[in-house]
């Protein structure tokens, strides 16, 4: 039954990707690279080297899936679409007890993780930032793509110390050297990272899920982006607030084109 559900999800997600690709009317180097990444993801075009990395990362996912080990985390995000956490609650964080398996559900599914992998392979950013490490699955996909590119560094930020610790162990088990994991709130850590960053090529925003915060991160990033930079926003349809944030971002004059995959949104600068 789970295999059937996953197959149906993949068909639906590939439709969203294809529809997004068809809406990509803007032509140019960045747009062409995004289209290439979409096509290679939809058609599962993976070479031997890529397959080795992907299999190793998916083995880690398998170890966490349905794992009942309990863990207490401090969550600085918006919770779920119905949580309605206040700004103060998100700033100070909310403690909750969960399991490894439930945390793993927050990782990008294999199809979307493959898309991020292919996007890094085609865009080939020198500097990439990820907001929201979780247990390191998407970070590993992106870092492995940089490893295969023979260039690039990934800086990823996770608010929960407990989850960041899991991510570090997973990254170390893969022996990925081109990645830095920072623990702290995005509000605290991102400005410090950006102070040391010039010509930022690529950002994946996968955390917090709050309208005001998402718009604020976008504004903080703008002065540090290089021409042709790619910004990927996760869960743009997650809530009405995230939908409004996405709609505002794509209308910004600095954005030259955007692609809406319903789950993910991409902006080209």
Higher pLDDT residue, 68 or 80? 68
The confidence score (pLDDT) of residue 95 equals 86
Cβ-based neighbour number of residue 148 at 10 Å: 17
pTM of the model: 0.95
Q: What is the largest CA-CA distance in the chain?
A: 49
The 10s digit of each residue's pLDDT in 173-184 is 999 999 999 999
Write phi, then psi, for 163 (nearest 5 degrees): -70, -40
pLDDT at residue 1 greater than cutoff 80: no
Residues in the chain: 269
CATH number of 2-62+107-268: 3.40.50.150
Provide mean pLDDT across the span 100-128: 96
pLDDT at residue 267 greater than cutoff 80: yes
pLDDT at residue 163 greater than cutoff 60: yes
Domain boundaries, given as residue ranges, for the chain: 2-62+107-268, 66-103
Query: pLDDT tier at 23 (50, 70, 90 boundaries)?
Result: confident
Query: pLDDT tier at 29 (50, 70, 90 boundaries)?
Result: confident
- Ramachandran assignment for 123, one of left (phi > 0), alpha (psi -120 to 50 degrees), beta (any other): alpha
pLDDT at residue 27 greater than cutoff 80: no
pLDDT at residue 109 greater than cutoff 70: yes
Query: pLDDT tier at 30 (50, 70, 90 boundaries)?
Result: confident
Contact 194, 203 (CB under 8 A): no
Contact 231, 197 (CB under 8 A): no
pLDDT at residue 247 greater than cutoff 80: yes
pLDDT at residue 82 greater than cutoff 70: no
């Amino acid at each position: 039954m789970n295999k059937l559900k996953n197959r149906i999800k993949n068909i639906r997600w590939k439709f969203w990707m294809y529809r997004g690709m068809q809406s990509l009317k803007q032509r140019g180097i960045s747009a062409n690279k995004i289209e290439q990444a979409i096509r290679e993801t939809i058609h599962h075009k993976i070479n031997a080297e890529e397959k080795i990395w992907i299999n190793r990362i998916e083995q880690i996912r398998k170890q966490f899936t349905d794992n009942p080990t309990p863990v207490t985390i401090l969550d600085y995000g918006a919770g779920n679409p119905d949580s309605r956490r206040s700004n103060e609650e998100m700033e100070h964080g909310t403690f909750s007890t969960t399991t490894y398996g439930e945390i793993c559900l927050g990782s990008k599914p294999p199809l979307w993780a493959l898309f991020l992998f292919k996007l890094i392979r085609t865009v080939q950013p020198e500097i990439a930032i990820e907001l929201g490490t979780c247990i390191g699955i998407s970070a590993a996909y992106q870092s492995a793509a940089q490893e295969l590119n023979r260039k690039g560094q990934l800086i990823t930020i996770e608010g929960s110390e407990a989850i960041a610790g899991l991510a570090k162990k997973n990254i170390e088990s893969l022996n990925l050297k081109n990645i830095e994991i920072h623990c702290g709130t995005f509000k605290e850590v991102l400005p410090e990272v950006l102070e040391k960053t010039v010509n930022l090529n690529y950002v994946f925003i996968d955390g917090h899920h709050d309208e005001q915060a998402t718009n604020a991160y976008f504004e903080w990033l703008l002065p540090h982006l290089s021409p042709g930079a790619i910004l990927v926003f996760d869960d743009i349809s997650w809530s009405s607030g995230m939908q409004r944030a996405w709609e505002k971002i794509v209308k910004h004059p600095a954005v030259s084109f955007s692609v809406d995959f319903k789950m993910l949104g991409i902006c080209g600068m």
